[in-house]
């Protein structure tokens, strides 16, 4: 299977690739502004809120988009079924992981994350530009849902009790000591805290597969153990799924609704500490 990661040198040498810039900040500035300040040549801007998610609601702050909406967005960005896609951000590949996961879920067979993101690209001496490419709008991608495992709220609760459900948020949010975004603090009972910052080194690149396997073994995940992940809104949890794949472990299921979807139903239990 093709690696889910790509190095800057390999991306620079790859012909016929669609590159998506998925930079995003909770609270701003808008990723489109960052894109206009400089991006990888040929990259097009992909917006987390409108291209990679549906409208906020009971399904969480970043629910899965409808297949038709995702297909239209990807075609507008030039994504095609038989052309590789590379995605990048500048925050440790957390948002890029959501783009990778969404492409995989909807059936794209060759989506990869630029390891280390834009900083790694610039650090390799590769150029950036403020020039936007000509409008694409010629992608032929067809959305085929079901390419990656996904959890409902009930399934996430069951997995927390019977397998390993990773909570990708910071320890403070997991313990319920701080909650800057959602109306209730805490975590899904039985979930194990595994902040995504533990998947990458200081340079923002993913840790070596052996190191990641050791990390996940310490969290109770190994071959044969059913695993899943959630976060605040199903974005950084995709980073856990990606890290598990880099480690060579079985694909974990993503609870897309995550904490924002969980607390939308006040009858669901909340754990703290």
DSSP H stretches of helix in the chain: 8-13, 31-37, 48-51, 67-76, 94-105, 117-123, 153-162, 171-175, 209-218, 237-246, 258-262
Task: Number of helices (H) and strands (E) in the chain: give both, helices first.
Answer: 11, 9
Mark whether 231 is an active-site residue. Answer: yes
Alpha carbon of residue 97 to chain centroid: 3
What whole-number distance in Å separates Cα of residue 248 and Cα of residue 215? Answer: 13
| Beta-strand pair 44-45/111-114 | unpaired
Sign of the dihedral through C-alpha 79, 24, 234, 195: positive
Length of the chain measured in residues:
273
Q: Please answer whether residues 209 and 248 qualify as being in contact, where contact means their C-beta atoms are separated by less than 8 angstroms.
A: yes
What whole-number distance in Å separates Cα of residue 87 and Cα of residue 99? Answer: 7
What whole-number distance in Å separates Cα of residue 248 and Cα of residue 245? Answer: 5
Phi and psi, residue 256, nearest 5°: -65, -40
What whole-number distance in Å separates Cα of residue 213 and Cα of residue 243? Answer: 9
User: Would you tell me how many other CB atoms lie within 10 Å of the CB of residue 29?
Assistant: 11
| Beta-strand pair 227-230/253-254 | parallel
- Which entry of 148, 151, 157, 231 is annotated as an active-site residue? 231
What whole-number distance in Å separates Cα of residue 138 and Cα of residue 216? Answer: 41
User: Would you tell me how many other CB atoms lie within 10 Å of the CB of residue 120?
Assistant: 21
Active site residues: 231
């Amino acid at each position: 299977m093709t690696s889910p990661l790509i190095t800057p040198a390999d991306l620079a040498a790859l012909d016929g690739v669609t590159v998506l810039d998925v930079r995003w900040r909770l609270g701003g500035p808008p990723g489109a502004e960052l894109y206009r300040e400089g991006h990888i040549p040929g990259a097009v801007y992909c917006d987390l809120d409108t291209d990679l998610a549906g409208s906020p609601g009971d399904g969480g702050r970043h629910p899965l988009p409808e297949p038709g909406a995702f297909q239209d967005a990807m075609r507008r960005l030039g994504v095609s079924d038989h052309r590789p896609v590379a995605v990048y951000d500048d925050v440790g590949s957390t948002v890029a992981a959501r783009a990778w996961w969404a492409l995989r879920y909807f059936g794209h067979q060759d989506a990869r994350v630029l390891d280390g993101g834009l900083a790694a690209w610039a650090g390799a001496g590769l150029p950036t530009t403020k020039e936007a490419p000509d409008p694409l709008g010629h992608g032929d991608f067809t959305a085929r849902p079901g390419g990656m495992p996904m959890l409902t709220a009930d399934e996430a609760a069951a997995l927390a009790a019977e397998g390993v459900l990773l909570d990708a948020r910071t320890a403070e949010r997991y313990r319920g000591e701080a909650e800057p975004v959602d109306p209730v603090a805490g975590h899904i009972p039985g979930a194990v805290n595994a902040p995504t910052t533990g998947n990458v080194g200081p340079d923002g690149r993913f840790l070596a597969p052996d190191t990641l396997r050791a990390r996940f073994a310490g969290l109770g995940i190994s071959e044969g153990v059913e695993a899943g992940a959630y976060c605040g809104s199903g974005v950084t949890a995709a980073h856990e799924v990606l890290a598990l794949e880099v480690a060579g472990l079985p694909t974990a299921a993503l609870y897309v609704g995550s904490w924002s979807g969980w607390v939308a139903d006040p009858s669901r239990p909340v754990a703290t500490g």
